């Protein structure tokens, strides 16, 4: 476990040099047809004496929504969104293709954009590892060195998933795209990893690839989501829109609520007064809680720096950028600690106690209450469901 922690530290320390998308797109994408042969990953039955089941393509094609993401762009809902944005055919619009397909810059002969979010969207361009990776004697690390993406590493996995499920500064669901009718994004790493899996994590997987811990995945997902938010906020291209900041980074319910008046109450975590548009700090709040068992002092630091960021948004753009950069540096330092921490049931109790204390102070009056009232499946609900699942299963 200790060694695994170290490996994670090294990985995540290097991860900020090249983003997930750059790594995934660094080599030619050969296309799903290259993976789906019946003796490769296209078997209908699981193979017995292979490291992997080899029926991954069949599972992906039948059950995984990623196989249908291109088809989504041909439907009336997508056409209506694109028309409102003046984009024309959504299957030709880069902004839509970037997240709904494997919009790789370098493509092999068998590559088809209509395959949607195919194998190499997550596993990386196979140009240099395709031939070697089927050989049992080849180590996972050798494949990674040749451009396979480390989806087993929670930090790297979170970065890859969130590049589409939250967006990055280069591909983003803006408030304008939302306004045109795009569904709201909500993502939680552990839950989403297990919604439509074409893989099994058992003893054999652990022997080949290392430890697996669902609570840690959840915790890492919070940290990377929070980093993502801050990166989008400080990017001059995406963070601002005319005289307004990019509204999608703010708490939707600060603006979208039924006007009744007299509902406002203070939140220590923001320190803001009434009538102020708040940044959406849901992941920052959760990251502070997942730090509770790891390092209480660090959790307090995230609390203070998040509050300072909220205050800065009422001062100026420069103050906001400075506060966001300070917090981003803190997260850079703390995410590897969370990724290396061995969460157990005692840590889960510490997290729940930390959340309870916040709830007692009225910290969740903003988004959680609003989400429930509107019956949407937003972050807070996904997270509450997730915690319940872990508390019952004691994973």
Q: Which residues in this chain contact ligand HEC in the complex, by CB under 6 A? A: 32, 35, 41, 52, 56-57, 60, 65-66, 68-69, 72-73, 77-78, 81-82, 85, 87, 90, 93, 95-96, 98-100, 117-119, 121-123, 151-152, 157, 160-161, 163-165, 167, 171-173, 175, 177-179, 182-186, 192-193, 195-196, 198-199, 205, 208-209, 247-248, 250, 252, 254-256, 277
CB 378 within 8 A of CB 184: yes
- Toward ligand HEC, which CB reaches closer, 186 or 347? 186
Separation between Cα atoms, residue 257 and residue 387, nearest integer Å:
27
CA 244/CA 240 separation, integer angstroms: 6
* Cα→Cα distances 146→20, 123, 361, Å: 15, 12, 50
Give whichever of 172 and 224 is closer to ligand HEC, judged by the CB atom.
172
- Cβ-count burial of 134 within 10 angstroms (0-12 exposed, 13-18 middle, 19+ buried)? middle
- Neighbouring-strand partners of residue 389: none
- Please, are residues 177 and 245 in contact by the beta-carbon 8 Å criterion? no
By beta-carbon proximity to ligand HEC, the closer residue of 35 and 226 is 35
Closest distance to ligand HEC from the beta carbon of 106 (Å): 16
Q: Which is nearer to ligand HEC, 193 or 347 (CB)?
A: 193
Smallest separation (angstroms) from ligand HEC to the CB of 353: 29
Shortest separation between residue 44's beta carbon and ligand HEC, angstroms: 14
From the CB of 125, what's the least distance to ligand HEC, in Å? 13
Greatest C-alpha distance within the chain: 67
Pick between residue 192 and residue 293 the one whose CB is nearest to ligand HEC: 192
- Give the shortest CB-177-to-ligand HEC separation in angstroms: 5
CA separation for the pair 157, 59 (Å, rounded): 20
Q: What is the three-class DSSP state of 68?
A: helix
Alpha-carbon distance 133 to 121, whole Å? 17
The pairing of strands 240-241 and 244-245 is antiparallel
CA distance linking residue 249 with residue 232, whole number of Å:
8
* Residue 80 Cβ vs ligand HEC, minimum distance, rounded to whole Å: 8
């Amino acid at each position: 476990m200790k060694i695994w922690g170290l490996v994670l530290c090294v990985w995540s320390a290097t991860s900020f040099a090249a983003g997930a998308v750059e790594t995934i797109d660094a080599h030619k994408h050969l296309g799903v047809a290259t993976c789906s042969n019946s003796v490769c990953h296209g078997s209908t039955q699981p193979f017995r004496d292979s490291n992997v089941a080899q029926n991954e393509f069949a599972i992906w094609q039948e059950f995984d929504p990623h196989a249908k993401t291109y088809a989504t762009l041909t439907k009336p809902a997508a056409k209506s969104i694109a028309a409102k944005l003046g984009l024309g055919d959504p299957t030709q619009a880069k902004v839509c293709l970037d997240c709904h397909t494997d919009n790789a810059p370098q493509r092999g002969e068998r590559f088809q954009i209509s395959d949607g979010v195919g194998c190499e969207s997550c596993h990386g361009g196979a140009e240099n590892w395709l031939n070697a990776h089927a050989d049992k004697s080849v180590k996972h690390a050798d494949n990674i060195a040749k451009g396979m993406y480390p989806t087993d590493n929670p930090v790297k996995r979170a970065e890859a998933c969130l590049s589409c499920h939250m967006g990055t500064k280069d591909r983003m669901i803006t408030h304008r795209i939302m306004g045109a009718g795009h569904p709201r994004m909500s993502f939680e790493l552990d839950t989403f990893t297990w919604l439509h899996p074409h893989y099994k994590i058992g003893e054999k997987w652990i022997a080949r690839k290392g430890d697996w811990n669902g609570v840690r995945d959840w915790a890492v997902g919070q940290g990377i989501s929070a980093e993502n938010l801050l990166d989008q906020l400080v990017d001059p291209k995406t963070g601002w829109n005319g005289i307004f900041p990019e509204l999608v980074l703010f708490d939707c319910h600060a603006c979208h609520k039924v006007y009744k008046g007299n509902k406002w109450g203070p939140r220590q975590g923001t320190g803001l007064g009434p009538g102020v548009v708040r940044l959406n700090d849901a992941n920052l709040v959760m990251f502070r809680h997942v730090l509770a068992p790891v390092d209480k002092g660090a959790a307090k630091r995230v609390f203070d720096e998040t509050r300072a960021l909220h205050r800065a948004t009422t001062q100026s753009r420069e103050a906001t950028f400075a506060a966001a950069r300070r917090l981003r540096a803190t997260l850079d330092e703390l995410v590897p600690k969370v990724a290396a921490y061995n969460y157990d049931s005692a840590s889960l109790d510490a997290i729940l106690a930390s959340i309870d204390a916040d709830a007692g102070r009225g910290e969740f009056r903003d988004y959680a209450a609003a989400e429930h009232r509107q019956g949407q499946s937003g972050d807070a609900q996904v997270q509450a469901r997730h915690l319940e699942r872990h508390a019952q299963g004691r994973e």
